[in-house]
Every structure is written in structure tokens, then in C-alpha cells.
């Protein structure tokens, strides 16, 4: 069956009358033009956060979303004309002025420094966009697209791919602490998928949910053989990955730094820069590096 050709029918059948317009609203964020009201970067209202001010007009699309506390990403409108998507800063609704039909918002960055925000808003102008995930699906869609793109990349390089379940019943087997198994020439390795971190995309985010087997939110070196880090937040390309060996620097010349908590755990915010020495841009490259060990 050609699933792309029959997508409207499949969606309507699976989700009880849903049409593509409704599906698009759920899967794609709202894009709300901004207007700068005060580009001065300062700490306001006794907070410790460096911020600047912008506004968003209330209209039929934005009225539902612009509520105090709502957050989104500040992005250049240029991505609609083919330039790479890039989250330059974050935005938060502070209050809604109904008579003026605007929401007063603040711009800030995850890094939290004045310089980071000054640099970010220098790249943003009136008419650029506050991107708001309407119903909370966009982040999961991005995560799923990243995993699908990684599976395609591995298969294109000659690997067989198995995606591991998110959970596993005790009578079936142990819980998987990794996302994929890649196999080639009889060798199988465990792969954990992560991403670049926030608006400061120099770093990977190598974290793990706390559980009985984890004393910290850092990943353990022992729970996967390699990390696959999506570089989408830095490059805007869903097919762009960096790969690193999940071994300690103390035992492996191309391994990752250890956590300050324990030598068993990886540093959860390492610099992620492809050099094909520590961070590789292909599965074959990281595979050969592991074989050489």
C-alpha cells in the first residue's frame, strides 16, 4: 500500500474523522510574528534572568496560546524561505494586554548570560517568529523524526537496525537502557540517541532518567556502546548526527569525560564538535574506531 498517497484516508480512519488541517495544527508549531518593544538586555523585577522585551499580537490563531507563562522558541523567519531552522533564544509570555490586543513577552536564553542574549537578539528583528508548540506534540515529533532519520542513516551504511521498546515486562526480559541495536558483520552494539542542548548548541545532553540503577541523571558508560547525538538544534538538518564512544577517558583514548559524581557516569554536558577523532559523523566511522580498540 502506498501510505503517502492514502494519508488522508489513513488518518481519518485511525483517528476517527481527523482531517489533515487538524493534524497539521497538532504536529506543527504556531509561528507568531514578534515586535521588539525594548531590546535592552537587563535584569528586571528582581529576577536573576537577563531578558529583553517583545510583543505578539492577539488574533484568531494566537489568542488560544498567549497565556502568561507560555514559552516558545525565537527563530528567524528566514527558515520559511529555505534557510536552516535555528532556535536563537527563548520567549515567555509575561502578561496579556486585552485592550491593546497584544501579549507582552520576554526573550531569554538557556545559557543565562547577558552576552548570550545580546548576541541572540542581534540576529532577531521585527517580523521574526515566536514558535509555540500548540498541543505539546512537536517535541515528540522531533524526537521520533530524529530516531527515524538515524535508523535510515545506519541502514544506508550497511547496518541492520533494531529499535528497542521503551519498556519491557519483567517476564519477557530486562529493561533496555538504550534506544537501538546496530549490527554489521556479526557484531552488535548498543546505541543511545541524544541531542544538542538548548540554545547553546555547543553541548550534547547525555542525561538519563533517575532510577534504581542510576544515582545521578548522567548516563552510565556501561549502558550503551556509543552515543548518537542529533545535531538538528545546531544545523537545522534532521539527518545530521555526531557519534561518540561510551567509554571513559581514563580507559579509552577516544572516550568521553567522566562525571564529577562518579567515574561510572559520563559528563552529561560535553562539548560536541565533529572532528572524526572523538566525535564522528558516520556510523561506519565510530564503528571502525571501536573495532580499533
Q: Three-state SS across 133-187? A: CCCCCHHHHHHHHHHHHHHHHHHHCCCEEEECCCCCCCCCCCCCCCCEEEEECCE
CB-CB contact of 82 with 45 (8 Å): no
The pLDDT assigned to 11 comes to: 81
Whether the CB-CB separation of 103 and 95 falls below 8 Å is answered with yes
Distance between CA atoms of 151 and 161, rounded to whole angstroms? Answer: 6
**CB-based contact 43:49 (threshold 8 Å):** yes
The pLDDT score that the predictor gives to residue 251 is: 83
Which residues, at least 6 apart from 288, have a Cβ–Cβ distance to it below 8 Å?
A: none
Classify 28-132 by CATH class.
mainly beta
The residues, any chain, with a CB within 8 Å of residue 84's CB and separated by 6 or more, are: 235, 236, 237
Which pLDDT tens digit goes with each residue over 232-291? 988 889 999 999 999 998 888 899 999 988 889 999 999 999 999 999 999 999 999 999
pLDDT of residue 8: 77
286 phi/psi in degrees, rounded to 5: -70, -30
Domain 138-292 in this protein, CATH class = alpha beta
Smallest Cα–Cα separation from 76: which of 61, 87, 91, 90? 87
Instruction: Give the start-to-end residue ranges of the domains of the chain.
Output: 28-132, 138-292
Identify the pLDDT of residue 276.
Answer: 94
Q: Is the dihedral of CA 90, 96, 98, 100 positive or negative?
A: negative
If we measure between CA atoms, which residue out of 282, 276, 175 comes closest to residue 228? 282
Q: Which helix (H) or strand (E) holds 192?
A: strand 187-195
> pTM of the full predicted structure?
0.86
Fold match between 28-132 and 138-292? no
Q: What is the dihedral of CA 122, 127, 129, 134, to 10 degrees?
A: 160
Residue pair 289/255 in contact (Cβ under 8 Å)? The answer is no
Residue 174, pLDDT score = 67
Residue showing cell 542525561? 207
Q: Which stretches of the chain score pLDDT less than 70? A: 1-5, 167-170, 172-176, 212
pLDDT at 7: 75
Amino acid at each position: 500500500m502506498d501510505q503517502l498517497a492514502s494519508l488522508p484516508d489513513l488518518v481519518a480512519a485511525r483517528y476517527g474523522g481527523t482531517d489533515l488541517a487538524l493534524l497539521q495544527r497538532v504536529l506543527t508549531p504556531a509561528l507568531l510574528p514578534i515586535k521588539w518593544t525594548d531590546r535592552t538586555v537587563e535584569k528586571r523585577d528582581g529576577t536573576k534572568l537577563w531578558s529583553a522585551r517583545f510583543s505578539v499580537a492577539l488574533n484568531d490563531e494566537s489568542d488560544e496560546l498567549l497565556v502568561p507563562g507560555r514559552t516558545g522558541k525565537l527563530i528567524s523567519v528566514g527558515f520559511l524561505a529555505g534557510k536552516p531552522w535555528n532556535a536563537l533564544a527563548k520567549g515567555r509570555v509575561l502578561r496579556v494586554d486585552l485592550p491593546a490586543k497584544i501579549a507582552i513577552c520576554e526573550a531569554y536564553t538557556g545559557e543565562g548570560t547577558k552576552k548570550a542574549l545580546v548576541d541572540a537578539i542581534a540576529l532577531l528583528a521585527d517580523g521574526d517568529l515566536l514558535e509555540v508548540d500548540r498541543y505539546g506534540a512537536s517535541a515528540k515529533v522531533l524526537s521520533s523524526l530524529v530516531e527515524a532519520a538515524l535508523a535510515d542513516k545506519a541502514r544506508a551504511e550497511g547496518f541492520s537496525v533494531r529499535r528497542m521498546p521503551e519498556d519491557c515486562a519483567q517476564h519477557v526480559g530486562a529493561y533496555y537502557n538504550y534506544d537501538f541495536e546496530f549490527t554489521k558483520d556479526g557484531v552488535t552494539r548498543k546505541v543511545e540517541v541524544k541531542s544538542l542542548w538548548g540554545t547553546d548548541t555547543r553541548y550534547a545532553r547525555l542525561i538519563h532518567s533517575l532510577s534504581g540503577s542510576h544515582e545521578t541523571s548522567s548516563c552510565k558508560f556501561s549502558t550503551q556502546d556509543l552515543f548518537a547525538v542529533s545535531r538538528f538544534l545546531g544545523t537545522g538538518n534532521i539527518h545530521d548526527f555526531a557519534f561518540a564512544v561510551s567509554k571513559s577517558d581514563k580507559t579509552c583514548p577516544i572516550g568521553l569525560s567522566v562525571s564529577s559524581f562518579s567515574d561510572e557516569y559520563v559528563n552529561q554536558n560535553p562539548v560536541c564538535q565533529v572532528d572524526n577523532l572523538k566525535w564522528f559523523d558516520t556510523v561506519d566511522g565510530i564503528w571502525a574506531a571501536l573495532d580499533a580498540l
